[in-house]
Amino acid sequence: MVEIDKATPALVTGATGYVAGWIVKYLLEAGVTVHATVRDPQDTAKLRFLNEIAKNSPGELRFFKADLLEEGAFGPAMQGVGTVFHTASPFTSDFTDAQKQLIDPALLGTRNVLVQATNEPSVKRVVVTSSCAAIYTDAADCAKAPGGVLTEAVWNRTASLAYQPYSYSKTVAEQEAWRIAKSQSAWDLVTINPCLVMGPAIGGKPTSESFAIMQRVGGGDFKSGAPRIAMGMVDVRDVAEAHIAAAYTPEASGRHITCGHSTDILSAMMLLAPKYGADYPLPKRALPKWLVWLVAPMVGLERAFIAGNVNIAFKADNGKSKRDLGLSYRPLQETLEDMFEYMIGQGYFKKP
């Protein structure tokens, strides 16, 4: 861990989120005063887990109400803070209006937070939770990257409102962040670009697509086989540590691919078999690509997505995160087992 400034408060937007919860935890345990923005500071049930961490930590936790789409909403929360962690952005495939539910919160929320940072003299660094989705849409894009490997120099050029709108939302939001950062000189920007984030939450049931995927795995949706959908995976705790390092390492700059492992859905989930395979209907074999392509519309997947991601290698260079942020990534099996065990405890699925 880097040396953390305990004297100056830090702001974490969307503090009840999956990644944000771990950032708040690490800051509080380090003795930092955390300004946490949430939708409803009176929702004691939703805030219980953060309050429990604060109760047993040297840091102080202060909640502020803020709406991503409301200009000036982050003003009170940002007063006196030195570092802003902007994590708030929807990550879901369950939407009916991509513009309203994905693009607007990501783009306008980023704009509102960063414009407010420009108006707050105390802010010196902003760390934005972006995504590898702002770098690529499909695994097939890797082959088109220089050297066949994704790096921080690559930007997503293939996502759109019509195709993979989540990836599009992360792309336009990060581009807006860099535009605003370059328009001023009071603070500097660092972005964290994680691939699929996995691992345990600090409490409750996060509204994250990561948990939706794992719930389907543990619930038996892939017991007849799983597709080899190529992707990167990373532990949520490593992602949180990347944010902390980005905030408090003075020389940190630019984008950082935060990806512990290049894998695919089947290979990753088969790592759960030694510990959980006897009790849960986990996938044991690969579904052929032609079959996945055939049934794709029936399971809510686009055939273009299948064509660009199944049985195709994912390759990303995480060297910058190791060099500049000092990251060392947890083993994927540890990440997935910790997540699965957490979800059992939270009642996501029962033994058959």
Lowest mean pLDDT among 86-95, 213-222, 296-305: 86-95
Confidence tier at 90 by pLDDT (50, 70, 90): low
Report the pLDDT averaged over residues 55-64: 96
Q: With CA atoms as reference, report the closest residue to 279 among 225, 203, 344.
A: 344
CATH topology of domain 10-345: Rossmann fold (3.40.50)
Report the pLDDT averaged over residues 238-248: 98
Burial class (CB in 10 A: 0-12, 13-18, 19+), 148: exposed
Q: Which tokens go with 98? A: 């991509």
pLDDT at residue 1, rounded to an integer: 67
Confidence tier at 330 by pLDDT (50, 70, 90): very high
Torsion of CA 308, 237, 49, 130, to 10 degrees: -50
Q: To the nearest whole percent, how much of the chain has pLDDT over 70?
A: 97
Lowest mean pLDDT among 42-46, 201-205, 272-276, 317-321: 42-46
Confidence tier at 98 by pLDDT (50, 70, 90): confident
Of 46, 170, 315, 351, the active-site residue reads 170
Report the pLDDT averaged over residues 163-167: 91
Mean pLDDT over each residue of the chain, to the nearest integer = 93
Q: In what order do the strands lie in the sheet with 261-264?
A: 196-198, 230-235, 261-264
pLDDT at residue 80, rounded to an integer: 96
Cβ 32 vs Cβ 57: under 8 Å: no
Report the pLDDT averaged over residues 48-73: 94
Task: Assign 178 to helix, strand or coil.
Answer: helix
The sign of the torsion formed by the CA atoms of 159, 118, 254, 26 equals negative
Q: In what order do the strands lie in the sheet with 34-38?
A: 61-65, 34-38, 10-13, 83-86, 125-129, 188-194, 254-258
Active site (annotated) includes residue 320: no
pLDDT over threshold 60, residue 92:
no
Confidence tier at 352 by pLDDT (50, 70, 90): low
C-alpha distances in Å from residue 73, one per residue of 50, 68, 84, 111, 331 = 22, 7, 14, 12, 40
Q: Is the pTM of this model over 0.85?
A: yes
Q: Phi first, then psi: what are they for 42, rounded to 5°?
A: -90, -5
Q: Phi first, then psi: what are they for 203, rounded to 5°?
A: 165, 155
